[in-house]
Chain A
């Protein structure tokens, strides 16, 4: 210490202190400062991306290309974002089972961690919509009535009044929304999978999406009221007409036969 203190008046002492201070600041900054999003480094997210790339090579690359550039069998994944991956894989649509008019939902064989890794890899290919958080899609504080108006304006053309689904051209269809998780509904609106148009936050803010989710929960879930009795599918007058013919007129013709068979001739005793 004495040596150091003796040299504290040295002409170069200030320079040495300055060098130390700069090194400390730079070092601390390098250690503590958050890395920019696009930068890849050896942190947890880059690990996820690495893992995701491995999963991608096994499950997705044959159609979407080695680096997500797309091929004749599948579209490019650059810029689809993690929300699209989360939706497609968690509903079992991707990896696709077989080609057809539309890739249908099936049992998902990936764990949530693997889906996140895949999503992280695909998100690293280019900026796109991120997987929503619970506060975004939760219908807890949302307005079902407003959601209903939005639903009828934007969704019911294909998905029916209460989300029972409907037909599209050439064997394609809008699937039912009954029993679909709020997160999946949110992600579908955000990313527009397959034939569905996308409703990004710029055209439909996240609280509007939550309103729609609240509406679906209010009108077509196990808790929604059905004051009229059996719903007959809530698919409009076709099922009602079928029911009227089969059970209404069917019962009445059966009764007419019964009444007509009870003639005075029947009493022979």
Chain B
């Protein structure tokens, strides 16, 4: 800030009123220096780099519409009798939370549209976070120096799931009440402290009078506050680290190739905000979401089939649905393994993906900085792991919707449950293996393309009668893309014996590390890319074969 005080004397007193306002503001806020260094910041252009923007914009839409909804929502469990315009609920007793949501849906101007925008935006927000996370995962953008930002993003996803869940619970309709009951059951299954925790959460017996008010505070204050903070930190780190880029000619670990923040990138990103808002608003105007009027108010003695959580909690529903109903009774207590085991696996599914960057960096011993992205095929083990995780996630989603799979595909629900139970263990292994093989196949293809060129589809007959297909050599840019990646070698434990012939002591941890490292970068996990010598030998005049 101090540096700007000299400016008027150096350049003279500005005459233009606009300039004067700018001077005045800059002298007090020091915006010029901040802007100068940041407005020309370069961002690379790729559609997959805009997935994070989809998350950011849907978060903004959630806040805007959420504020509107708080103006009319009453987070109260007081019982009232409904006398609103929706006839099939006329005279039904319900909580004030449900009645006010009915009021928003049927009487508040634009209320239903805003409610639907809010809910659709929530589903899309979390879906976009998953896809964004997968983009970062498969391209290796989580590597040093971005591990912390990966954790920030993962925490945003985790918090987003619970923000969504608490929001889903607020209207106190039969569906959301069933979801809260589900959660209460999970809490109760915690050994020893389960009942105390439940009593503490609900202020007494379920459902009690407190939970809507409490969930409301958590939903509109605590979780969004935490998320906003993390989001800012996430963006600051993106700025600080600079954005990653795909490999290509002219792109190195030391530069960023793209468009500057102002004016092009800002115009595109700003325009993209309105596109995102437009798509979500159009969907909200076209399609119903969470039609609480069809569900009726929550009463603990009622339940409906098709009672599922929103999709992002679907995998926890699947865990519960396919888990056998085991329980242990001892010393007058019951340990409900049928619920407690899924409750333990639920965070593990999420944590498995969260800790992956640290595991990979430990296994491969890679501690260097990376700003160029990996092509997923060049890291078969990582890609395989990602696909295996997605498979596990999707298998659990099938379990969570087993009743709808049964009715819509005319299957037995028991068969689906068994399919999910077996697939939970088997499918990730199979998809890991298949993905790894596909990656290796693609690497072989890349190698062939580099050495022999692109298959042109032109068949040529040689004078002596032989038919050959003409291969076109790749351009330098294409060759660069296919060969720029590093091919690390597995960790080497060194010789088994030292110079005196005595067996060296190697810790078992190091042995495990070396074995895993061979799994990552050994002969079976990557195809050696063509060397310069190979390329020159094959292109040096022997021509096509």
Interface residues of A (CB under 8 A from B): 101, 144-146, 148-149, 152-153, 156-162, 164-171, 173-174, 215, 218-219, 226-232, 234-245, 247-249, 251-253, 255-257, 259-264
Contact = CB atoms under 8 A, between A and B. Distances in A.
Interface range, B side? 35 or more
Contacts of A215: 88
Interface stretch (B153-161, B226-234, B309-317): B309-317
A249 B131 contact: yes
A248 B290 contact: no
**How would you classify the secondary structure of chain B's contact residues: helix, strand, loop or mixed?**
helix
Interface of B: 45-51, 53-54, 87-92, 105-106, 112, 116, 120, 123-124, 127-128, 131, 174-175, 259, 264, 268, 271-272, 275-276, 279-280, 283, 285-291, 293-296, 299, 301-312, 314, 400-404, 406-407, 410-415
Contacts of A146: 91
B310 A169 contact: no
B246 to A, nearest CB: 12
B51 A256 contact: yes
A170 B47 contact: no
A251 B286 CA distance: 14
Contacts of A173: 406-407
A269 to B, nearest CB: 18
Contact of A171 (B120, B288, B402, B406): B406
Contacts, number: 209
B123 A162 contact: no
Contacts of B403: 166-167
B304 A161 contact: yes
Given A171-B413, A234-B291, A251-B279, 18 more contacts: A156-B302, A165-B407, A167-B407, A171-B412, A228-B105, A228-B288, A229-B285, A235-B306, A237-B175, A238-B311, A238-B404, A241-B123, A241-B310, A241-B312, A248-B127, A249-B127, A255-B275, A262-B268
Contact of B314 (A238, A249, A259): A238
A161 B296 contact: yes
Contact of A152 (B287, B304, B308): B304
Contacts of A236: 175, 304, 306-308, 404
Nearest to B403: A167
A245 B404 contact: no
B124 A252 contact: yes
A237 B272 contact: no
B251 to A, nearest CB: 14
Contact of B287 (A148, A228, A261): A228
Report, nearest first, the 5 A-B pairs whose CB atoms are least far apart.
Answer: A241-B311, A228-B288, A166-B305, A244-B123, A167-B403
B290 A144 contact: no
A82 to B, nearest CB: 31
Among the interface residues B49, B307, B402, B410, which one has the most CB atoms of the partner chain A within 10 A?
B307
B47 A260 contact: yes
A156 B305 CA distance: 6
Contacts of B406: 167, 171, 173
A252 B279 contact: yes
Given A234-B291, A244-B311, A145 B302 contact: no
Contacts of A238: 306, 308, 311, 314, 400-401, 404
B537 to A, nearest CB: 36
Contacts of A247: 283, 287
A259 B274 CA distance: 12
Contacts of A153: 299, 301-302
Contacts of B402: 167
